[in-house]
Chain A
Amino acid sequence: MNSMMGLINLEYEHDFLNELTYFRCGAAVPFGGRYRLIDFTLSNMVKSNIHEIAIFTRNKYRSLMDHLGTGADWDLDRRHGGLFILPPDWNDPTDISRGDLRYFHNNRDYFHRGHSTHVLVSGSQFVSNCDYQAAFQHHLDNEADITFIATQVEPDSFNKEHDACLRLETDDQNWVTAITNEKCNPLIFTGVYIINKELLMDTVDQCIAHHKDHFFYHGIKENLANLKIQVFEHKGYSAFVNSIESFYRHNMGLLCEQNYKSLFLKQPFIRTKVSSEPPTKYRDQAGVHGSLIANGCVVDGDVENSVLFRGVQVKEGAKIKNSVIMQRCTIEPGVYLENVILDKDVHVTKGQTFIGSKDKPFVVAKRQVM
C-alpha cells in the first residue's frame, strides 16, 4: 500500500524574521492570531493521512518543542509513528556527510522503520490549506519519481517574498524541465515535494559519496535530467512568509474575508496547540472593527484592522491600528499603536505612542516593557 511519511526540514531556514527570530526558529514564529508557522504544513500533513512526521531542526528549537509537545494537538501522539523532533546530536566518527545530508544520514532509522513508501518533504515558510493527498494521487497516477507542489502567481501580484522562491518550467505533460530563479515565471515552487522513499535514500547515499552538502540542490536540482518530476498545482490561499515585510503583510491579509475563509474555514481546520483561554471579553468601551481576535483577550479599547493573539489585554482608551499583537501583551490606557508588531509578553505603558510605516512596521521583541 502506498502511503506517505512526513519530513519538515528546517536546516536551511535561517533566522529570517529579525526580532521575531531572536529567541526562536522561524518555524515557531506566531502567525494568524493563534498559530505558529509550522502548524500549517503540520496540519496539512495530518489531514492528508500522514501520521509519521520528522522535524529536522538545527537551533533555537526550545519554543518549537514546547509548542509541539507530544504532538497530541495534531493527533500525533501515537503508539507507532507520530512526531519525531530530531535536533542535531551526532557522534558517528565515520560520518563524512555534510549540510542537511547529515540529518538524513544520522536519522536513517526514521526512514527505514517507517512503513511508508513515500516521503513528503516540506519547510515551514509556505502557508496554505493544502490537500497533500490530492498531490499524492497525482504523483502515483503519473508514476513520477518526485512531485513538486507549485502555485501559480498572477504576474501583478508578484512580491518581494517570491524573489527567494524557485520557479519551475514544464513541458506540456507537466514534467519539470528546469528549475530556475527567473523572476518573471509565475509557476512558483512551494518547497513542498513528494519523493519515493527508496529514491530519497539512494540520493542521500549518492550525495554523501560525492561530498555534496545540500539534499535538494545537489540531489534533485542538479540531477534533474535523470528524474521524472511532475508538478502538482495548489490552488487557493498561498503565502510565503520569509521576511518581516511578508510576515506583516500576510497577517494583515487575513483580515480579508476571502483569505480568512480559504485558509481557516476549510474542514478539517488548521490545528495548533490548544490553550485553556476563556472566550474573549469585550468591555463597555470596546470598539473593534475589521480584526482577527483570538480567545482570552480582554478588550476595552479601540482595535482596528489588527490581529490580536491569545490573552492580549487592551485597556480603556487604548487605540490599536494595523498592528499584530502577540500573546499576552498588555496595552495600557491611552496607548496609540499603528503599524506595529509586538512579540509575546510586551507591556506598553500608559500613554505611549508607537507608529511604524506600512512597509516597515515597528517591531518589538519579546518581553519588553515600553
Chain B
Amino acid sequence: MKKECVGMLLAGGEGKRLGKLTGNLAKPAVHFGGKYRIIDFTLSNCTNSGIYTVGVLTQYAPLELNQHIGIGKPWDLDRQKDGVSILSPYTAKQGGSWYSGTADAIFQNIHFIEQYSPEYVLIISGDHIYHMNYKHLIKQHKLTGADATISVMEVPWDEASRFGILNTTEDLRIYEFEEKPSNPKSNLASMGIYVFTWAALKAYLLHDAEQIHSSHDFGKDIIPSMLQDGKRMYGYRFEGYWKDVGTIQSYWEANMDLLDEDSSFSLNNKNWRTYTYDSNNPPQFIDRTATLKSSLINSGCWVKGTIDHSILFENVIVNEGSTVYQSILHPGVEVGENSVLERVIVTKNTIIPPNTYLRSNQDEEPLVVDAESLKEILSIQI
C-alpha cells in the first residue's frame, strides 16, 4: 500500500538529564501539562497534519510508553491498514542489536518504511512541546525539490551556541551545519524535525550503517555527509512555540509556559487539539477552603488548599492549610495538611505528609521529589 509520507517518531531516549523523572519510563512518556505525556504533542501534530502512518521507535523503558500509545486510539491512529506501529529493537535470522543511534533506529526499520513505498519520510522526535503542521513542511520540501528539509527556528543570538545551527543562503538553502558553535554565524537552530526524500535518505542510511566509526546519528552523521555531497537541503522556517524539555529546568519552564496568559501556545486551541488517553475520572472537587490562581487542574483532583501557578495532574489531593506554588504534582500525589511546596516537582503517587516544607530557590533547578528522596529529605529536616 503506497503512502506519500511515513512519519518516524524517535521515542527511545532515556533523557538522562531528566533524572528521577525518567527513572522507570522513557522521556517521551514523562507526564506533562496536567494531563498529557510529552509524546502526545508530536502524536497530535501527526493526526492534525493528516499523517496517519507513524512508526514509533522505542528502546529505553518502553512499558508505560507502549501502554500509553496502545493501538493509537486517542490520536485516531487505530486504522485498518496503517496507523501507529511500535518499533522496538528486535532480533532476526541475521541477529539483532539495540538501536545505536537515531539513524541506526531508522536503518533497522527500513523494511517497515518500504511497506508503504513512500516518497518522503518525516523524522520527528517525542521530546518536544510544540504545535506544527507537518503538511506545510512537506509542501515546501516538494516545492524546493529538496533531498532534505530541516525545520528551523530563530533563537536568541546569545543562546545560539547551545543549538545545532544551520547556515543558509537567503532562500534558506543550507550550506553549513554547525553543532553547538562557539561563534555562531546564524541564529537558525535545527529543531530535530526533518523531511527526507526517501530514496536519498535510504542511500545515506545504508552507507552510514557500514561506517564503523559513525555514531549513526542524524545530526552528527547523516546531515553532515549529505551536506558534504552537495545534496539539496533547505531550512523550513517555523514560527511559534517550541520547547525541548531535555532538562528538569526546561521541563519545569515548559509546564509553567502553559500558565502564561499571553502565550501563543494553548491547550485550549480548538483548531489544533492535543489528544491523549483519558482515564475517565470524576470532575474535580474544589472545596470551600480552596484558593486557586493561575493554575491547571485535571479531573479527579480534590483541592482544599491554596494552588498558585501550579499544575495538578489527575487524582491529586491537596489538603487544608497547604500551599502549592510554582509546582508540578504528578498523578495521584497527596499533599497532607499545612504543607508548603514551592517550585518542586512531585512524582506519581508520592504522599507528602502533613506539615512538610519543600522548596527550591528561584535560581536553582526545581527539586524533584519522589517517595525515596522524600524519605531522605524528611529525615534531614527532623
Quote the shortest CB–CB distance from B52 to chain A (angstroms): 17
Residue B294 interfacial (CB < 8 Å) = yes
Quote the shortest CB–CB distance from B256 to chain A (angstroms): 13
Known: A282-B295, A295-B299. A33 touches B290 (CB 8 A): no
Residue B166 interfacial (CB < 8 Å) = no
Complex contact B268–A269 (CB within 8 A): no
Residues in chain A near residue B34, CB distance under 8 A:
278-279
Complex contact A278–B284 (CB within 8 A): no
Complex contact B292–A282 (CB within 8 A): yes
Interfacial residues of chain A within 267-298, with CB under 8 A of chain B in the complex: 269-272, 274-276, 278-284, 286-296, 298
Complex contact B275–A276 (CB within 8 A): yes
- B291-331 near A? 1/0 per residue, CB < 8 Å: 11111111100000001000110000000000000000000
Select B296's contact among A257, A260, A280, beta carbons within 8 Å: A280
Residues in chain A near residue B296, CB distance under 8 A:
278-282
What's the Cα separation between A270 and B276 when bound, in Å?
20
Residue B282 interfacial (CB < 8 Å) = yes
Quote the shortest CB–CB distance from A188 to chain B (angstroms): 25
What's the Cα separation between A281 and B283 when bound, in Å?
13
Residues in chain A near residue B74, CB distance under 8 A:
276
Residue B158 interfacial (CB < 8 Å) = no
Complex contact B267–A279 (CB within 8 A): yes
Complex contact A298–B284 (CB within 8 A): no
Residue B239 interfacial (CB < 8 Å) = no
Q: How many residues of chain B are within 8 Å of chain A by beta carbon? A: 36
Complex contact A278–B286 (CB within 8 A): no
Residues in chain B near residue A292, CB distance under 8 A:
283-286
Instruction: Pick from B74, B259, B268, B284 the residue with the most CB of A within 10 Å.
Output: B284
Task: For chain A, give the interface size range.
Answer: 35 or more
Quote the shortest CB–CB distance from B183 to chain A (angstroms): 42
What's the Cα separation between A198 and B242 when bound, in Å?
63
Quote the shortest CB–CB distance from A73 to chain B (angstroms): 7
Residue A264 interfacial (CB < 8 Å) = yes
Residues in chain A near residue B284, CB distance under 8 A:
280, 292-294
Residues in chain B near residue A298, CB distance under 8 A:
268
What's the Cα separation between A275 and B320 when bound, in Å?
31
What's the Cα separation between A303 and B276 when bound, in Å?
28
Known: A289-B288, A290-B288, A296-B268. A269 touches B297 (CB 8 A): no
Residues in chain B near residue A288, CB distance under 8 A:
286, 290, 292
Quote the shortest CB–CB distance from A348 to chain B (angstroms): 19
Residue A6 interfacial (CB < 8 Å) = no
Residues in chain A near residue B294, CB distance under 8 A:
282-284
Which A-chain residue is minimally distant from B276 (CB atoms)?
A276
Known: A278-B33, A278-B35, A284-B293. A294 touches B283 (CB 8 A): yes
Residues in chain B near residue A295, CB distance under 8 A:
35, 283, 298-299
Residue A225 interfacial (CB < 8 Å) = no
Select A270's contact among B282, B289, B293, beta carbons within 8 Å: B282
Select B268's contact among A32, A281, A282, beta carbons within 8 Å: A281
What's the Cα separation between A307 and B282 when bound, in Å?
12
Complex contact B287–A282 (CB within 8 A): no
Residues in chain B near residue A257, CB distance under 8 A:
285, 287
Residue A265 interfacial (CB < 8 Å) = yes
What's the Cα separation between A295 and B301 when bound, in Å?
11
Residue A162 interfacial (CB < 8 Å) = no
Complex contact B35–A279 (CB within 8 A): yes
Which A-chain residue is minimally distant from B281 (CB atoms)?
A269
Residue A34 interfacial (CB < 8 Å) = yes
Complex contact B288–A272 (CB within 8 A): no
Residue B364 interfacial (CB < 8 Å) = no
Instruction: Pick from A265, A272, A275, A298 the residue with the most CB of B within 10 Å.
Output: A265
Select A278's contact among B274, B283, B289, B312, beta carbons within 8 Å: B274
User: 6 new A-B pairs (CB below 8 Å) besides A293-B283, A294-B283?
Assistant: A274-B278, A278-B33, A279-B267, A279-B299, A280-B284, A290-B287
CB-defined A-B contacts under 8 Å, sample of 24: A33-B282, A34-B283, A269-B280, A274-B280, A275-B278, A276-B275, A276-B276, A279-B267, A279-B296, A280-B297, A280-B298, A282-B296, A284-B294, A286-B293, A287-B291, A287-B292, A288-B290, A289-B289, A290-B288, A291-B286, A292-B283, A292-B286, A294-B299, A308-B283
**Interface of A toward B, CB cutoff 8 Å:** 32-34, 73, 257, 260, 264-265, 269-272, 274-276, 278-284, 286-296, 298-299, 303, 307-308
Q: Which 9 A-B pairs have the closest CB atoms?
A: A33-B283, A278-B267, A279-B34, A264-B282, A274-B278, A279-B298, A290-B288, A282-B292, A294-B283
